[in-house]
Structure 1
Amino acid sequence: MSRGPRSVGANRDWGRDDSRTPILHVDMDAFFAAVELIDRPELRGRPVIVGGQHRGVVLSATYEARAAGVHSAMPMAQARALCPQAIVIQPEHGRYREVSQSVMRILGEVTPVIEPLSIDEAFLDVSGARRRIGPPRLIAEQIRERIRTELKVVASVGVASTKFVAKLASSHAKPDGLLLIPDEASVPFLHSLPVGALWGVGERTQANLARLAIHTVADLANTPVGTLNRLLGNSAGGRLFDLSWGRDPRPVEPVRQEKSIGHEQTFAINLTGRAEMAAVLLDQAHRCAARLRAGDLVTAGVSIKVRFADFTTLTRSRALEAPTDVAHELYQAARALLAGVDVPAGGVRLLGVRCDALSDSATTVVQARLDDPGEERRDAERAMDAVRARYGVNALTAGSLLSVPATANRSGDLN
């Protein structure tokens, strides 16, 4: 869900010349909620929130819920107060990844020059697809139609000469729209926006700029760069000045190495038993290991995140003896880390596992030990991956995971 500032009165038609606009930003509309509605068509047109039933945060919401003020990352209690008539659905991240993979497959059939940003958005450079398919606007229209027809979800697309402008264009195209910003219209479009639309302008920076009466991108663009550097620092000042004039030389990068893979959960009822916590860690270890294998990655480091009833949060981490993509090894490391944590009487409201120090499994040498059963476990877990890929993420699980608390709200994958 995009929450960047938008100009309500922004022009929605900047021309039809797409001869110098090879960059597309494809952004799925209310993605998690839209996926849930695929199997629940009777909920279309109603306010729907994806998140925990009582605690945790909003992951996604339909536009009917957004009309009541609900937005992503909002505490569920606040969302329920704003929209008490909303239907709340527990997230199913495996299902979202399945649909995301189908979206990325469609995009990959248009061009190999695709840079996924997250599960529900990506940049494309369609320069090489023009002769085969047509001009960028036509390509964008065909992408939107295929996603709608084949997957029953909706994408908005921005078309522009640079990544920055294309991303802003897609946010202004929402919901269910397409916005082309011709190359010559890039600066006028940018200058029509609030300064908060610029990447890197958060609330604090916005307040600093307001002291100099800088409220719009046009205001910033017409401020001497030296003044911006003194106010924000040389790096930030110069970068924002360049963006305000549409200068963004970054290419679409087809390969983006994930820095970390993780999963965390917020619980409707705090966990106080070590056995329950261990079961949650095992579940998370399996989820992380499956994602590692799907990305042909291995991890050399594991960390856990623990949040107590009073919202005190701590992390613990350790390096592994050898890189791995085996859930059992991740779990053993995570459980050892948890054993060193003193859990107060109020229990744990959030628990998470993260894998970092990632590397390509095909090029990473793993030193095997004579008594190491890791390869057998890896083969077994890959077999589980194949079953889930064919029959669904809930088709097969480890028997010990049947004790994972039903009150858990799976609040999301961490990248």
Structure 2
Amino acid sequence: MTTPPARCVLRIRFHLPAGPTGEEIYERLLDLVADITARYQPHPPDTVDLDLTPALRYWAPRTPTEIAQLLRLRATALFGISSTAGLGASPMIATMALAGTPPGKLTAVAPGPAAVEAFLRPRPVAALPGVGPATAKALHRLGIDTVGRLADTPPATLNRILGTRPARQLHTRARGIDERPVQRTALVRSTTATHRFPHDELDPAVRRRALLGLAEELALRLRGHDEVCQSVTLTVHYADTTTTTRSRRLAEPTAHSPALRKTAYELHAAHALQRARVTALTLRADGLAPAAAAHHQLLLDPDDDKHHRLEQAADALRARYGADAIRPAALAEPPAPP
């Protein structure tokens, strides 16, 4: 009887330019991914999971690492795009491998139980998917600060700390068990805008001004294509090359600048950055849909109607005189010194 091949999952993040150009390249890269394996799952705006298991026979005698390098090489040769990748026996292992990989490199975790255990046990418990700041803090209070200690903790103890369902899920993951499939899903369209600071930015006022510009850019882009978005995601890039991401679903699909700006500010506050050294901010509008299919909740507030009418007038001026004809005062460039 032939032993089935060990499961092999590749998570790859492409380093794409911001804006519509990056979105277009991402969709073309998915065609490149489909040439490697038919079993893949997009994670817009820049990441894809590939289940290489069914493709190993086709690509033999290449190893999974060589297949991953082939995909990365093709992305660079055809589109000039570099990438970072993690390879493991499950989506969780591949995700964690990618998270700890320097930009432009590949980390491969061998599929055997011993290799998976050696990879997981020394890692901080906060690195395990599903462990947020509050959960990590609760675990740290009991001295559970690594994935290995979490795996060694009796389930009954975790139940008292976290509750039955979260405890069972995290205890299973800490032992390297992740049976989630990699499956094709409908590609949910999104659009992104990125602001890169000239130096490590610690001033929250400067970051909020950048967020204002990003929200305005996304709102103009959506209205220019007669589209609305259903949620907003903010990714913060730090000086040590790590990132954190927060998302929030909107009360209603919209392309209204004040709504996107307010949500961006709330996401920024939720990051609790304090003295973090921030190098860039990426704001993404997710779940794009035609504006004609969206419904606007009428409010008993004359200011809301006034803001929408002002927005329409400003868009008309931009269409006639250019995108920079009118902008928020906070984004106006200071006058040059005499």
The normalised TM-score by structure 2 is 0.62
1:285 aligned to which of 223, 244, 247:
223
Q: Which residue of 1 aligns with 2:143?
A: 213
How far has the Cα of 1:245 moved from its partner? 0.5
In 2 relative to 1, CA 332–165 (structure 1 residues): closer, same or farther, beyond 3 Å?
closer
1:11-410 matches, within 5 Å, as 20-28=6-14, 31-32=15-16, 35=17, 92-134=18-60, 135-184=63-112, 185-256=115-186, 258=188, 283-287=221-225, 289=227, 302-303=253-254, 305=259, 307=261, 326-327=290-291, 329=292, 333=296, 341=304, 402=323, 403=325, 405=327
- Amino acid paired to 2:222: Q
* Root mean square deviation, CA, Å: 4.3
Deviations 1:191-235 (A, max 9, x none): 121111111212211111011110100010000011111101111
- In 1: Cα distance, 2:218 partner to 2:32 partner: 35
Q: Give the residue type in structure 2 aligned to 1:96.
A: G
Q: 1:142 to 1:248 in 2, by over 3 A?
A: same
Q: Does structure 2 retain, via aligned residues, the 8 Å contact 1:162–1:248?
A: yes
* Secondary structure of the structure 1 residue equivalent to 2:142: coil
Distance 1:149 1:233, change over 3 A: same
What residue in structure 2 maps to residue 69 of structure 1? none
Secondary structure in structure 2 of the residue aligned to 1:179: strand
Counterpart Cα distance in 2 of 1:262 and 1:93: 6
Please give the secondary structure, in 2, of the residue aligned with 1:176.
coil
8 Å Cα contact 1:282-1:331 kept in structure 2? no
Deviations 1:58-113 (A, max 9, x none): xxxxxxxxxxxxxxxxxxxxxxxxxxxxxxxxxx4101102212322211211121
Partners of 1:170 and 1:269 lie apart in 2 by: 27
The answer to whether the Cα contact below 8 Å between 1:163 and 1:252 also exists between their aligned partners in 2 is: yes
* CA deviations over 1:170-195 (Å, ceiling 9, x no partner): 22332222222122111221112111
If asked which structure has higher relative contact order (CA below 8 Å, sep 6+), I would say 1
Q: Do the aligned residues in 1 keep the contact of 2:19 with 2:191 (CA within 8 Å)?
A: no
Distance across 1 between alignment mates of 2:85 and 2:220: 39
Scaled by the length of structure 1, the TM-score of the pair is 0.51
Structure 2 CA distance, aligned partners of 1:165 and 1:288? 40
Separation in 1 of the partners of 2:319 and 2:40? 36
Partner SS, residue 137 of structure 1:
helix
Structure 1: any 5+ residue segments left out of the alignment? 1-18, 36-91, 272-276, 293-300, 314-323, 352-396, 410-415
